[in-house]
Amino acid sequence: MQAAPKIAPFMPPRRILMGPGPSDVYPEVLLAQSRPTVGHLDPLFVAMMDELKALLQYAFQTQNEVTLAVSAPGSAGMETCFVNLVEPGEKVVVCRNGVFGERMRQNVERCGGVAVVVDFPWGAPVDPQVVEGVLKQHPDASYLAFVHAETSTGALSDAKTLCALAREHNCLSIVDAVTSLGGVELRVDEWGIDAIYSGSQKCLSCVPGLSPVSFSPRAVEKLKSRKTPVQSWFLDQTLVMGYWGGSGKRAYHHTAPVNALYALHESLRLLAEEGLENAWARHQHMHQLLKAGLEKLGLGFVVDEAYRLPQLNAVYIPEGVDDAAVRSQLLKGYNLEIGAGLGDLAGKAWRIGLMGYGARAENVAICLKALEEVLQ
Amino acid sequence: MQAAPKIAPFMPPRRILMGPGPSDVYPEVLLAQSRPTVGHLDPLFVAMMDELKALLQYAFQTQNEVTLAVSAPGSAGMETCFVNLVEPGEKVVVCRNGVFGERMRQNVERCGGVAVVVDFPWGAPVDPQVVEGVLKQHPDASYLAFVHAETSTGALSDAKTLCALAREHNCLSIVDAVTSLGGVELRVDEWGIDAIYSGSQKCLSCVPGLSPVSFSPRAVEKLKSRKTPVQSWFLDQTLVMGYWGGSGKRAYHHTAPVNALYALHESLRLLAEEGLENAWARHQHMHQLLKAGLEKLGLGFVVDEAYRLPQLNAVYIPEGVDDAAVRSQLLKGYNLEIGAGLGDLAGKAWRIGLMGYGARAENVAICLKALEEVLQ
pLDDT tens profile A51-86: 999 999 999 999 999 999 999 999 999 999 999 999
Q: Does a structural domain hold residue A335?
A: yes
Q: Does a structural domain hold residue A1?
A: no
Please check whether residues B345 and B304 belong to one and the same domain. yes
pLDDT at B355: 98
Please check whether residues B260 and B323 belong to one and the same domain. no
Please check whether residues A238 and A166 belong to one and the same domain. yes
Please check whether residues A75 and A217 belong to one and the same domain. yes
Q: Does a structural domain hold residue A5?
A: no
Mean pLDDT score across all residues of chain A = 96
CB contact under 8 A, B36 and A15: yes
pLDDT at A245: 67
pLDDT at A243: 77
Tell me the mean pLDDT in the region A349-356. Answer: 98
Of the candidates A10, A12, A255, which has its C-beta nearest B73's C-beta?
A255
Mutation for B interface: A233, A250, A351, most B CBs within 10 A: A233
Contact status, residue A211 vs residue A77, Cβ threshold 8 Å: yes
Tell me, yes or no, if A3 comes closer than 8 A to chain B by beta carbon.
Answer: yes
Q: Does a structural domain hold residue B2?
A: no
Type of residue at B357: Y
Residues of A in contact with B276 (CB under 8 A): 1, 4
State the CATH number of the domain containing residue B67: 3.40.640.10
pLDDT at A246: 58
pLDDT at B252: 81
Please check whether residues A65 and A185 belong to one and the same domain. yes
The answer to the question of whether B351 is labelled as a binding residue is yes
Please check whether residues A261 and A352 belong to one and the same domain. no
Cβ contacts below 8 Å, chain A against chain B, sum to: 292
Residues of A in contact with B9 (CB under 8 A): 28, 32, 266, 269
Whose CA is closest to B264, among B54, B20, B17? B54
* Distance in Å, alpha carbon of A121 to nearest chain B alpha carbon: 22
Contact status, residue B103 vs residue B93, Cβ threshold 8 Å: no
Q: Does a structural domain hold residue A6?
A: no
User: How are strands ordered across the β-sheet holding A66-70?
Assistant: A66-70, A211-215, A195-197, A172-176, A143-147, A91-96, A114-119
Please check whether residues B191 and B285 belong to one and the same domain. no
Tell me the mean pLDDT in the region A288-309. Answer: 98
Please check whether residues B167 and B257 belong to one and the same domain. yes
Please check whether residues B149 and B34 belong to one and the same domain. yes
Tell me the mean pLDDT in the region A222-239. Answer: 95
CB contact under 8 A, B17 and A39: yes
User: Rounded to whole angstroms, what are the CA distances from B159 to A49, B156, B179?
Assistant: 38, 9, 13
Tell me the mean pLDDT in the region A341-358. Answer: 96
Residues 164-203 of B with CB under 8 A from A: 189, 199, 201
Tell me, yes or no, if A27 comes closer than 8 A to chain B by beta carbon.
Answer: no
Please check whether residues B334 and B210 belong to one and the same domain. no
pLDDT at A242: 78
Q: For the segment A175-208, what is each residue's pLDDT rounded down to a tens digit?
A: 999 999 999 999 999 999 999 999 999 999 999 9
Of the candidates B7, B14, B255, which has its C-beta nearest A51's C-beta?
B7
Contact status, residue B307 vs residue B128, Cβ threshold 8 Å: no
pLDDT at A251: 77
pLDDT at B251: 77
Domain count, chain B: 2
CB contact under 8 A, B337 and A262: no
Whose CA is closest to A124, among A98, A142, A145, A105? A98
Scanning A40-114, the segments in alpha helix (DSSP H) are: 43-60, 74-85, 99-110
CB contact under 8 A, B75 and A40: no
Owning domain of residue B224:
27-272
User: Rounded to whole angstroms, what are the CA distances from A45 to A32, A38, B201?
Assistant: 13, 7, 16
Please check whether residues A238 and A197 belong to one and the same domain. yes
Tell me, yes or no, if B329 comes closer than 8 A to chain A by beta carbon.
Answer: no
State the CATH number of the domain containing residue A317: 3.90.1150.10
Whose CA is closest to B11, among A260, A261, A48? A48
Tell me the DSSP string of B112-166.
Answer: T-EEEEEE--TTSPP-HHHHHHHHHH-TT--EEEEESEETTTTEE--HHHHHHHH
Q: Is the per-residue pLDDT at A248 higher than 90?
A: no
Q: Does a structural domain hold residue B8?
A: no
Q: Is the per-residue pLDDT at A18 higher than 60?
A: yes
The three-class DSSP label of residue B72 is coil
Residues in chain B, overall count: 376
Residues 62-91 of B with CB under 8 A from A: 62-63, 71-76, 78-79, 83
Q: Which of B272, B297, B325 is the last residue of a domain?
A: B272
CB contact under 8 A, B258 and A13: no
The phi, psi pair for B239, rounded to 5°, reads -85, -45
Q: Which of B238, B272, B306 is the last residue of a domain?
A: B272
Q: Which of A272, A292, A315 is the last residue of a domain?
A: A272
Please check whether residues A299 and A237 belong to one and the same domain. no
Tell me the mean pLDDT in the region A313-332. Answer: 97
The four Cα atoms B38, B42, B47, B52 give a dihedral, to 10 degrees, of 50
Give the C-alpha separation, B294 to B284, whole Å.
Answer: 15
pLDDT at A244: 76
Q: Does a structural domain hold residue B1?
A: no
User: Rounded to whole angstroms, what are the CA distances from B111 to A21, A85, B82, B106, B328?
Assistant: 33, 17, 7, 9, 40
Q: Does a structural domain hold residue A242?
A: yes
CB contact under 8 A, B258 and A208: yes
Residues 240-269 of A with CB under 8 A from B: 252-260, 262-263, 265-266, 269
Low-confidence stretches of chain B (pLDDT beneath 70): 245-249
Q: Is A308 exposed, middle or buried (0-12, 13-18, 19+ CB in 10 A)?
A: buried
